Structure 1
């Protein structure tokens, strides 16, 4: 899909908070509309290879609209990556059955904690598979609403090979979820949110999954479901249809039955942060805790990235991998210095945290590899809640558009800057839209990597 800067700006600018279209199946269900109805407890479900922390800003927006923190939960799947073959065990990866069992346990816990008869589920990408699987296998009585954001409900590809790949629209798993006149389970109200063509996992050409020129058998409409309310969000990418403010509006409105009072996050006067240190054993991203890691939190200057005094918090993780809590101010720019076993020392720079969170998870950067052998310093710009889209977005790393971010349909969530040894130690600006982070380029010779991690 070829996009010009003008067409993107016209599309995004003309509909700042609108959806491009509303597609509703013949058997569509609707959410409750009573203005005074209490919002049910909400459980957020992350996608393939991700963690619960991706929902941080969504949780903040919910809290800013009066949803109590203890009536929400975000699941952290133990092994978030899917298997290549759903029926064959694969180290550090999960089956559809594994995810269904973990999600079922989380639903039971949220019901127990709140005393509610039913909960609402919101899933991003693969998280929608787990939601549909639970509901389809007897869980409809526990779930009032199901919101599926960018979930490839008809596959990332649809072919006659790889029948046990859960992302195959013609495979065993998805055929089992989609069979019948309606593709949704009666008794639960379903909403799907999808892009208008900017989702890299809903494309007709296989170049976005490593097979250029090969038809995938799916289209941009792949995330829609017969029987659901299906909404299209203009110019948003695969992740943004879950985590963007426009996605929040639709999620809240569907579950609460009314417009949110506000979209912006209301800052707290005092902020407490904590989280989990995880790792990548064997190169596979998991959410398993890492013991023996040290975490030092520093306040840094927003214009230089330099530390302002000593650490405001220091911790060493135990068997549970937890660090914190750290007490900070909502105006502070922060550096998290993570020393994790068998990994580079990782310096993670963040813009201010507007509200408290116990899902500020930290994972060491990947080891320095062959591509870094001549680098004096390595700085990574990372956007966990969306992709870096050119020409859609303002994306600047050290004053230039990153060369490793491909234009057109957004496919890259990170960009890497490698500096010569003579430039190690200087400050690097990472800019995405209005969010600006200044990081220090730590010497690679000391086995250190810096990450400028975007929140929005």
Structure 2
């Protein structure tokens, strides 16, 4: 009897320990809400979330928000089609935080923001009642002192260092003049000198040769923990392995076990399929970015040959998108690259080629594209894009269709995240993009058939 009781106790203890290991408390792994930047989507947090998961963070406690209208207004106080004000941005973040707290049962969340996302985080904490609901705030590349601080120049823009929005947020919080205050713990991450929106010259804001009155230190905040990440670009202040390491250490007080993304199976993918808006007052003026669903769009997914980009067999997944915009779920095979082919009324057939997926994700967001008027004379138009960072000709090893110098990428500085090639030769053929070892090969589809090609980097 004693032996049986001892065995029962050991089994019960083992089950209890297993439960503790697989069901950490919010204090061990608090829910994290990720807030993307100006004009971006939740999808940019894909690799960051993978790294948290690879270090044992439960997937259900990692939430990336998708702002419907992600671009800031030119004048924060004036309504503008397809744009959000700082107040609207903050209200959306607040509602998302409330949902996460309710779903997880946690008392507080960690907020991690890139660029404009940091503006919403600061606004929510100081002006939206978030101080009691947030334990840590991490701001990567947020232009906390503006992209420019020129008196009388675009001062009612959200990113004006001398404007009412930022001067209000930066007002001293105590006698020491700190720009942040407790109980929230604050971390800023910035580049040493390679962030396009923290430059002393106005080149990247369309005012070359004009002093911005903003320094490389612009994203730092007095009173916060301020970390400099050498040579990273504006987006890499949040989406790089170095940014993940600093963020993880700040939240947990210890280094992550790995910076690598650990593979898993099965690999379940999903995400939102969105389009592009047209200005209601002047449709000819061009597109504006939104993260709204594109119901009725049709998606076909094909496995591709890594060497040629050609389709291997029939579609492995197809769906007509509903009102929620979700194009999945889809079970991907390890090590297999894919082509995502989108057809939607008013858009070109968009062929997006991606590297193999190592892990599951529900934020593999896709976007249908239109062919710009200037590209319609080409036989094929192909864009190489890097959503989670910029191209730096002095830092990165790059190749696009066997060209080492990428079209549109300057010889110095990291301020461009896409490069386009318009081919004048007829016919379909393989075309490749290579960035620091990640290689994607697609096919050159014809513009005459209303096709556009995107080679989308993951890392």
Q: 1:406-439, CA deviations, whole angstroms, 9 ceiling, x for partnerless residues?
A: 12111110000111132x3011010001100001
Contact in 1 for aligned 2:146/2:161 (Cα 8 Å): yes
Q: State the match for 1:231 in structure 2.
A: 227
Q: State the match for 2:262 in structure 1.
A: 266
Equivalent residue in structure 2 for 1:296, among 292, 300, 307? 300
2: CA distance, partners of 1:403 / 1:450: 16
Please state if 1:381 is matched with 2:378. Answer: no
Does 1 or 2 have the higher relative contact order (CA < 8 Å, sep 6+)?
1
Deviation at 1:160, TM superposition (A): 1.9
Q: 1:169-212, CA deviations, whole angstroms, 9 ceiling, x for partnerless residues?
A: 00000000000121113200000000011000000101111111
Q: State the match for 2:416 in structure 1.
A: 412
Equivalent residue in structure 2 for 1:164, among 156, 161, 183? 156
Contact in 2 for aligned 1:290/1:319 (Cα 8 Å): yes
TM-score by length of 2: 0.90
Please state if 1:100 is matched with 2:105. Answer: no
Deviation at 1:373, TM superposition (A): 3.3
Equivalent residue in structure 1 for 2:145, among 150, 154, 174? 154
Equivalent residue in structure 1 for 2:274, among 252, 264, 278? 278
Query: What's the secondary structure of 2:123's corresponding residue?
Result: helix
Query: What's the secondary structure of 1:135's corresponding residue?
Result: helix
Please state if 1:454 is matched with 2:431. Answer: no
Q: State the match for 2:244 in structure 1.
A: 248
Contact in 2 for aligned 1:43/1:107 (Cα 8 Å): yes
Please state if 1:439 is matched with 2:442. Answer: yes
Deviation at 1:368, TM superposition (A): 3.2
Equivalent residue in structure 2 for 1:132, among 122, 127, 134? 122
Deviation at 1:324, TM superposition (A): 0.8
2: CA distance, partners of 1:374 / 1:90: 33
TM-score by length of 1: 0.91
Please state if 1:40 is matched with 2:30. Answer: yes
Return 5+ residue gaps in structure 1 as ranges: 1-35
2: CA distance, partners of 1:68 / 1:307: 35
2: CA distance, partners of 1:441 / 1:289: 27
Equivalent residue in structure 1 for 2:205, among 184, 209, 213? 209
2: CA distance, partners of 1:37 / 1:272: 28
Contact in 1 for aligned 2:29/2:58 (Cα 8 Å): no
Please state if 1:366 is matched with 2:370. Answer: yes
Contact in 2 for aligned 1:193/1:247 (Cα 8 Å): yes
Deviation at 1:37, TM superposition (A): 5.5
1: CA distance, partners of 2:96 / 2:253: 24
Aligned length: 419
Equivalent residue in structure 1 for 2:81, among 91, 98, 108? 91
Deviation at 1:308, TM superposition (A): 0.7
2: CA distance, partners of 1:300 / 1:314: 15
Please state if 1:337 is matched with 2:341. Answer: yes
Contact in 2 for aligned 1:206/1:215 (Cα 8 Å): yes
Deviation at 1:374, TM superposition (A): 2.8
Q: 1:353-372, CA deviations, whole angstroms, 9 ceiling, x for partnerless residues?
A: 111111111111232322x2
2: CA distance, partners of 1:132 / 1:279: 29
2: CA distance, partners of 1:375 / 1:440: 15
Please state if 1:306 is matched with 2:302. Answer: no
CA RMSD in angstroms comes to 1.1
Return 5+ residue gaps in structure 2 as ranges: 1-25, 279-286
Please state if 1:185 is matched with 2:175. Answer: no
2: CA distance, partners of 1:430 / 1:222: 33
Q: 1:234-272, CA deviations, whole angstroms, 9 ceiling, x for partnerless residues?
A: 010000110001110001111111110111011112111
1: CA distance, partners of 2:316 / 2:142: 40
Runs of 4+ in 1 over 6 A off after TM superposition: none
Contact in 2 for aligned 1:267/1:354 (Cα 8 Å): yes
1: CA distance, partners of 2:307 / 2:425: 23
Query: What's the secondary structure of 1:174's corresponding residue?
Result: helix
2: CA distance, partners of 1:425 / 1:123: 41
Q: State the match for 2:432 in structure 1.
A: 429
Q: State the match for 1:221 in structure 2.
A: 217
Q: State the match for 1:112 in structure 2.
A: 102
Q: State the match for 1:346 in structure 2.
A: 350
1: CA distance, partners of 2:369 / 2:236: 23
1: CA distance, partners of 2:198 / 2:412: 14
Q: Which is further off, 395-404 or 443-452?
A: 395-404
Deviation at 1:83, TM superposition (A): 0.1
